[in-house]
Chains A and B, each alone.
Chain A
Amino acid sequence: MRLHFSARQLLPIFCLCITLVACGSGESRVVQGNRDGILHYGNGTEPQGLDPHIVTGLPESHIVRALFEGLAVKNPFTLEPEPGVAQSWDISEDGRTVTFHLNPQARWSNGDTMTADDYVWSWRRALNPAMGNQYAYMLYPVENAEAFATGKLEDFAEVGVKALDQHTLQVQLVTATPYFIQLMDHYSTFAVHRPTIEKFGKATDRFTPWTRVENIVGNGAFTLTEWKLNRRIRVEKSDTYWDRDRVRLNGVVFYPTENISSEERMFRVGQLHYTQTIPLDKIPVYRAMENSSYVNAPYLGTYYYLLNINKAPLQDVRVRRALSLAIDRARLNNTVLHAANVPAYGITPPGTLGYQPPKLFGHDVAAARELLADAGFPNGEGWPGLELTYNTSESHRKIAVALQQMWKDALNIEVTLSNQEWKVYLDSVDQMNFQMARRGWIGDYVDPNNFLDLFLCAGGNNNTGFCDPQYDDMITRQAPRARSREERYAIFYAAETLLMEQMPFIPIYTYTSNHLIHPSVRDMPSNLMDSLNLKYVWLDQDWEAAQ
C-alpha cells in the first residue's frame, strides 16, 4: 500500500497534538469558576433522574434540592429547619396538627404562584401506589397516608392533608412526630408542577420526559440549563426564586465522578471545587499536607454486622456479645480505616441532634472468652463455624479480614468470609440467608428514631430476627408521647440499652464524610447529614490572600 499516504495523514494529526498540548495547560476550571461564581461539584454518579418522587440516591438529591425546595429547609450549620416555601408553621398543642403558611412570594420557575393545592396534588402523586415511589414512607406520619400508599384506602380525601386557602396547608398526623418538619426537606415530600407533568402524561407515569432541560419547571434556587448524560449537569441561579437575593452562586456544574481515583485527580488539577469522597489510601497523604483541602466530619450513618439470631450459634446472646467484645474497634479504625471513622458501640451515631447513645461495652477479651466458654465453646472448642457475608468491595474485605483475625486471636474461633456481588448480597440479606452480614445504614433524617426503628419486630430493614414487644412499645408508643426532647431521648436511651444488651447486630464504626474542598469554597459547612444547601455557598476569589 501507500506509506506516503499514511504519512501525509499523520502529519496534521501530529501537529494538532502538539497544538493541543501547547494550549492544554490554560486557566483551570476552578479559577474560572471562582471568577464567574460557578461551583464545580463532583457528584458521585450520573443521577437516575430528577423527578423528586422517583429518585432515591444521594447524587440525585443534591441536584433535586438545587432545582426544588421543600416547605422547610435545613440550615447547613445547625440542621434545624428554617423557612422554605412555607414562611412559618404552627404545631397544635397535641402535636398532631401542623399548619404551614406558604410564602406568597414563592414561585415556580415559569412564574406561576405556588399554592397549598400544589402540595395536596403532589403528595397524592408521591403516595400513589402506581407511582412506585420508594420513599413514599417519608409521608407515613400523615394520617391515612400509609393506607393510601399501600392501596388499602382509595379515597385520597381521607388522607390528612388539605388546603385551607391558597397559601395555607394543614396536615393531620397519626401521632405527634417531632421530626415531621425535618421531613419537609426530603425530596419525596416536595411539590411538583402539575401542569408540566400533565402535559407529558399521567401523573404517575414514570417514563415521561417532564424533567428534561427543555420541559422541567421547579421551584428551587436554581434552574436546569444543561443535562449531558454521563458528562455534566449545569444549573443556573433562578430569577423567580423567592429568596434569590441571598443566592450568591451564579451556577453549579455537577459531574458524575464514579471513579473516585479519577475524581481525586480532577481535583488535583483544578477541575473540581469539591469531591464526593476520597480514596481511603489517599487520606494519610492529604492529612500530612499543610493547609490541606481534606475535610473529615462525622456522618449520620453506622457500619455494622447483622447477626441472624435464628441460626446457630448466634441464637445464644452470649455468643453475640462475645463476638462484639472481642473486636478492638480503635485498632481497626487506626489501621485499616486510616483513622477516618469513629468506633461505634450502638446503632445511633453520637450527637444525633444532641442524643448520645449508651456505651455498654468496650474491647474486653477476657470477658469475651468467658462469655464464649459459658456458651459452651471454651477456647473455641466445639465451635460450629460462622460465615460472614459482605458485598464486593476492597474496604469491606479489609475490615472482614481484620475482624476474622481478631476473632481467631481472641477467641480461637474460625470465621469464614463469603464475598457476594451487590445484588446477590442484597438478596441474601433480604431472604435472611446468612449468619452474619455486613450492613450500613444512613439516616434519612436527624433523629434517633430513624436508627432505632430499624429493629422493630415488623421493621423492613430489621433482618436479624430480633423482636422484643417491650422495645417496640418504647419506640412506637412511649417516645412519641414524651413531652420534651429530654424525656424522649431518655426513652430512646433506655430502648437502645435494651437493644445493645441483646446485641442482634455488631456495631463497628460510625461513618464520616470525607471530601476534598477547594479553599475558595465558603459557607459549605460539614454537618452530620452531609447536607448541601447551595443557597448559602459562595466562592471567594481572594482566597489566597485570606490564607
Chain B
Amino acid sequence: MWRFIAYRLLQAVPVILAVITVTFFLVRVAPGGPFDSEKAVVPEVKAALEAQYRLDQPLLTQYAAYLGDLAQGELGPSFKYPGRSVNELIAAGLPVTAELGLYALLVAMVIGGLAGVIASLKPNTAQDYLPMSAAMIGICMPSFLLGPLLVLVFGIYLDWLPVSGWGDIPGDKILPAITLGSTYAAYIARLSRAGMLEVMTQDYIRTARAKGLPEWQVVTRHALRGGLIPVVAFLGPAFAGLLSGSFVVETIFQIPGLGRFYVQAAFNRDYTMILGTTVFLSTLIVLFNLLSDILAAWMNPRLRTQFSEH
C-alpha cells in the first residue's frame, strides 16, 4: 500500500511540472500584458513596472527564476494587487473555498445519496423515476441559473436567507452551499443508484435476506458499503472540482474565495497569480484523486489485494 502511494506521488511530479511549463509559456503568448490599460501607459512607466516584475529579462531566465522561487514555496508577487503575494492571496481565499466546497459536498452526499438509494430500492417505479428526474434536472441546471433563482425565492420574496456574503450575516452560507452542491448531488444520486442496483442482486444480499433481516437492515448494514463505492471514487475529483469550479457561485454570492481570484487573474494577465493558482489547484486535484483511490481501496477488498501486490 505504501509503495503504491509513493509511486503515485512520484508520478505526480512530472505532471505538475508539465502543468507549470505549459501555463508559464501559454500566458505569455496571449496578446496583451498585465500593464495594458485603456489609458495609454507612458513607455518609461511601463519599463519601470516590467523591471520590478523581472519581465525585462529573457523568458527562459524568468522561467528558471520562477522554478527556483517555487522550490522554496514562493509563488511571487501579484501583478494586480501590488503589495500582496500570491501565497497570501491563496491563503486568504482557500479556507473560504474549502469551507464552501465541504458544505456543498455534504449537501450533495446527503441529498444525492438518499435520492439514489431510495430510487434503487424500487427500480422502474415512481419511487425511482421521481428522484432520478429531479437528478437529471439538477445536472442540467447551471449554477448561474439556480443561484439567482434560489436568491430570488428565499432571499427576496420570502426574506428567509441573506442574498450574499460569507460569514457576515447568519445563514448566508446556506444558499451558496445548496447551489454549488446541487449539481454534484445529481451526479451522486445517479452513481449511488447504479451502484446499489448492482449490489442488491449479489449473493451476499440474498444471504442477508435469507437470514431474515428486515429490508432496511439489509440496505444499511450490507448493501450501502458496496453500493457507495462508485460514489467514493467520485468524491475526490468532485471535491477538487468544487475547489476549482466554485467561481460562478462565488461571484453570484460575493464570496471571497479562491475561484474569483483564479478567473480574474486570467482576465488581468496577472501572470504570477494565474501560475500560482493553477499549480496549487492541479496539485490538489492530483492529491484528491489519490485520496479517493485509497478510500476506494479501503472499501473494496478486491482492490486492496491488487494494491498490495503492486
Seen from chain A, the residues whose Cβ lies within 8 Å of a Cβ on chain B are 1-4, 6, 10, 13, 17, 20-21, 23-25, 46, 48-49, 51, 54, 56, 129-134, 136-137, 149-151, 206-211, 228-232, 255-259, 261-262, 265-266, 268-269, 271, 421-428, 430, 439-440, 460-461
Q: Which residue of B lies closest to A200 (CB)?
A: B83
Give 30 pairs: A residue, B residue, CB < 8 Å, sorted on A: A1-B220, A1-B225, A21-B160, A23-B170, A24-B169, A49-B81, A51-B82, A54-B83, A133-B45, A137-B42, A207-B52, A207-B82, A229-B256, A232-B168, A257-B254, A258-B260, A262-B163, A262-B251, A262-B254, A265-B163, A268-B156, A268-B163, A269-B155, A271-B162, A271-B163, A423-B267, A424-B31, A460-B39, A460-B40, A461-B39
Contact, CB under 8 Å: A3 / B224: yes
Of the candidates A24, A228, A427, the one whose C-beta lies within 8 Å of that of B170 is A24
Minimal beta-carbon separation of B56 from chain A (angstroms): 12
The listed residue (B37, B77, B93, B170) touching A56 by CB distance below 8 A is: B37
User: Other CB < 8 Å A-B pairs besides A49-B83, A261-B148, A421-B32, 12 of them?
Assistant: A6-B110, A48-B81, A49-B82, A56-B37, A134-B45, A211-B83, A230-B257, A255-B254, A265-B148, A266-B163, A266-B254, A269-B163
- In the complex the two chains form, is A132's CB within 8 Å of B92's CB? no
**Complex Cα–Cα for A51 and B84 (A):** 12
Cβ of B163 and Cβ of A461 under 8 Å apart? no
The closest CB in chain A to the CB of B43 belongs to A150
Provide the bound-state CA to CA distance between A207 and B163, in Å.
35
**Bitwise interface map of B from 105 to 131 toward A, beta carbon under 8 Å scored 1, else 0:** 010001001000000000000000000
Question: 8 smallest A-B Cβ distances: which pairs?
Answer: A423-B32, A460-B40, A230-B256, A20-B171, A132-B49, A3-B220, A24-B171, A132-B48
B145 on the interface (CB 8 Å rule)?
Answer: no
Selected contact of B164 from candidates A265, A425, A427, CB within 8 Å: A265
A473-B57 Cα distance, complex, nearest whole Å: 41
Indicate with 1 or 0, residue by residue over B66-81, a CB within 8 angstroms of chain A CB atoms. 0000000000010011
Residues of chain B with a CB closer than 8 A to A265's CB: 148, 151, 155-156, 163-164
Residue B295 lies at the interface, judged by CB distance under 8 Å to chain A: no
Q: Tell yes or no: B44 within 8 A of A by CB.
A: yes
With A206-B83, A265-B163, A426-B32 already in contact, the answer to whether A20 and B170 are too (CB < 8 A) is yes
Best-surrounded residue of A209, A229, A439, A460 (most CB of chain B within 10 A): A229
CB distance from A185 to the nearest CB of B (A): 18
Contact of B39 among A24, A134, A231, A268 (CB under 8 A): A134
Residue of B48, B93, B156 near A129 (CB, 8 A) is B48
Given contacts A2-B220, A256-B254, contact A209 B83 (CB under 8 A): yes
Instruction: Name the distance in Å between B282's Cβ and chain A's nearest Cβ.
Output: 23
| Cβ-based interface call for B41 (8 A) | yes
User: How many whole Å from A425's CB to the nearest CB in chain B?
Assistant: 8
Partner of A150 from the list B42, B80, B253, B267 (CB cut-off 8 Å) is: B42
Docked CA distance A323–B256 (Å):
46
Q: Which residue of B lies closest to A269 (CB)?
A: B163
A269 B82 Cβ-Cβ under 8 A: no
Residues of B contacting A129 in the complex (Cβ-Cβ under 8 angstroms): 44-45, 47-48
CB of A214 to closest CB in B, whole Å? 13
* In the complex, B38 has a CB within 8 A of chain A: yes
* A52 CB → nearest B CB, Å: 12
Question: Which B residues are CB-close (under 8 A) to A208?
Answer: 83
Which B residue's beta carbon lies closest to that of A258?
A: B251
| Chain A residue at smallest Cβ distance from B256 | A230
B174 lies within 8 A of chain A by Cβ: yes
Contact check: which of A130, A231, A430 meets B40 at CB < 8 Å?
A430
Chain B residues near A262 (CB-CB < 8 A): 163-164, 251-254
Q: Report the Cα distance A461→B38, complex, angstroms.
A: 8
Q: How far is the CA of A48 from the CA of B254 in the complex (A)?
A: 17
Q: How near does chain A come to B152, taking the closest CB pair, in angstroms? A: 8
Chain A minimum-CB-distance residue to B48? A132
Tell me the bound Cα distance from A94 to B167 in angstroms.
Answer: 59
Residues of A within 8 A of B165 (CB): 271
Name the distance in Å between B89's Cβ and chain A's nearest Cβ: 7
The smallest C-beta distance from A445 to any residue of chain B, in angstroms, reads 13
Q: Are A259 and B159 in contact (CB under 8 A)?
A: no
Closest CB in chain A relative to B254 CB, distance in Å: 5
